[in-house]
Structure 1
Amino acid sequence: MEGIWMTAAFYLLAAIILGSALLVVLLKNIVHSVLWLAVCFVAMAGLFLTLDADFLAAVQVLVYAGAVCIMVVFGIMLIQRGDMGSTNLFNNQTKAAAGVVALVLAVCGYLAATTPWASPAAAVPENTVESIAEIMLSKYVIPFEVAAILLLVALVGAIFLAKEVKADARND
């Protein structure tokens, strides 16, 4: 009986992810797009929970649904366009984007069809957080810190550019 519930949860979460991802792309109000992006990230965390990856689910909610969406909202607030109702307008590159999406779907379909999937799923280790922490803070500590510094530099640069744009707009 548990398998039926897990399958139903997977399909429900997959439908939520696909629906919210479509809304992210199709909505004209960029703030609403960011809110649907947060819904997509939380549904992804739900998929991690169905795979018994509690740590990844928590990181997904904290980092992506929390921090990334808040950073996007801050970016929108710093830009401050007059009419936020139509800030996510379509452009004339729809056909090129459709071609890229079709190519990516074809490659993903080919890779999924040719991958030798294991029949029984391996058991999830009990102490996944300890292993991840040990690897991140020993073998991969330098790339981890470099990524943190790059994110900080990107944030400071974005704020600097946004303040410069605001100052130029006031001078005009």
Structure 2
Amino acid sequence: MILTLGSAVFVLVSRNVLYSAFSLMVTFLGIAGLYVFAGADFLAVTQIMVYVGGILVLLVFGIMLTRNKADRGTNQPNTVKTEHRRTFWGILAAGGIFAILSTILSKAHFQRVELDHYEAIERKTTVHDLGVGLMTNYVLPFEVAGILLMIALLGAAYLSGKAQSIGNK
């Protein structure tokens, strides 16, 4: 948990975008570890597959393939830096969210499980319940989300094709 929080703070305060992306990877992996400890194994695997395997790799490729015109003449690696001056507001927002979550966790009533009762508790996976829920009670929102994502993908493909045809004229 401390590693996850530390890497999240590093994402917030780092000026080097590439280092922030790698620190974001550590944050995502730490969150997946917290999901494992919470017993949500499906969410942990989904966290790794979607965020670390998909979004973060896309972000790193985007950072590595995008360079400023001023940086193209230099051969220095990892020169993608931000010029943000809003560190105070970011730390203030993160501190506020942390205070709210800390208050919620301090008011929660956790029950301690004794070691001799722990073996009697059956470990149940969440994959079956999640699959049954998505295909019965929540099938309409699941399908609507899929259609909206497909429309967004087609719109992005259309706009990128239109931008290329404008650039060729």
Is TM-score (shorter-chain normalized) higher than 0.5?
Answer: yes
Distance 1:75 1:162, change over 3 A: farther
> Matches of 1:168 and 1:52 in 2, distance apart?
51
Query: What whole-Å deviation, never above 9, does each CA across 1:86-139 have from its counterpart, x for those lacking one?
Result: 333322x33333332332222222222222223339946524211110101121
**Residue in structure 1 matched with residue 136 of structure 2 by the alignment:** 138
Taking structure 2 as the reference length, what is the TM-score of the superposition? 0.69
Instruction: Select the residue among 75, 82, 88 that pairs with 1:88.
Output: 82
**Residue in structure 1 matched with residue 107 of structure 2 by the alignment:** 114
Taking structure 1 as the reference length, what is the TM-score of the superposition? 0.68
Conservation of the 8 A alpha-carbon contact between 2:18 and 2:60: yes
Instruction: Select the residue among 13, 22, 29 that pairs with 1:42.
Output: 29
> Matches of 2:64 and 2:159 in 1, distance apart?
13
> Matches of 1:151 and 1:41 in 2, distance apart?
22
Greater helix fraction, Structure 1 or Structure 2: 1
Mapping for residues 1-172 of structure 1, pairs under 5 Å? 14-76=1-63, 80-82=66-68, 83=71, 85-91=79-85, 93-120=86-113, 123=121, 125-157=123-155
Aligned length: 156
Distance 1:66 1:139, change over 3 A: same
The alignment's C-alpha RMSD in Å is 3.4
Query: How many percent identity over aligned positions?
Result: 31
What SS is found at the alignment partner of 1:89?
coil
Conservation of the 8 A alpha-carbon contact between 1:17 and 1:40: yes
What 5-or-longer segments of structure 1 have no aligned partner? 1-13
Give the aligned residue type for 1:137. M
